[in-house]
Amino acid sequence: MKIIKSTFPADTILLSQKTVYDYSDSYEIAFLSPRKEIKSTSLATAFFSGDPNWIQYLFLLRNKIVALFGLKTGDSLANREKQLKNFKYHPGERLGIFKILYKNDQEIIIGEEDKHLDFKVSLHITPSLNQQQKFTLQITTIVKYHNTMGRIYFTCIAPFHKAIVKSILKSMVRQLEH
């Protein structure tokens, strides 16, 4: 599986919002699946339930550190697994530090607005036009800093962010391939 840095999906809702942002990236991976279609709720389920252990531990560490500065933290891993069982992925629902902001059949946008920065993450699926059951999965991130703390915070996590996105893409594909 080859992950490539890409441009935003042409039909992402992120582009229609005319959002001004300080940072952005987008990564994509193509894969085959026995499914004829993949909906955005399947993307979100794969995103929230498939993080490798090292990412879970990084989030726990992040939550302990940012709590000292009064920033929002996520729930424990046990609470997240329990919440996932009944999660409907409706805009406004929250899972950990992520709030569902928008959803259509091929894209779900999650994110958070905090006092130091806002971020949005698009999980976007595109079926191949010429090959049935081939899909392109993209994760696109945008970040808007509100202050110096936001800039410093994201500068510290940016190297981890790229590794996390790539790892989550692989994990999501493993789930969506079955």
Residue range of the domain that includes 160:
3-176
How many CB atoms are located within 10 Å of the residue 147 CB?
11
CB-based contact 127:37 (threshold 8 Å): yes
Number of domains in the chain: 1
The SS3 assignment for 64 reads helix
pLDDT tens, position by position, 14-38: 988 777 899 999 999 999 998 888 9
Give the pair of three-digit tokens for residue 100.
């569902």
What Rg do the C-alpha atoms of the chain give, in angstroms?
A: 16
The SS3 assignment for 31 reads strand
pLDDT tens, position by position, 89-120: 899 998 877 899 999 999 999 998 888 899 99
pLDDT tens, position by position, 52-68: 665 566 666 666 766 66
**CATH number of the domain residue 112 falls in:** 3.30.530
Residue 69 has pLDDT above 60, yes or no: yes
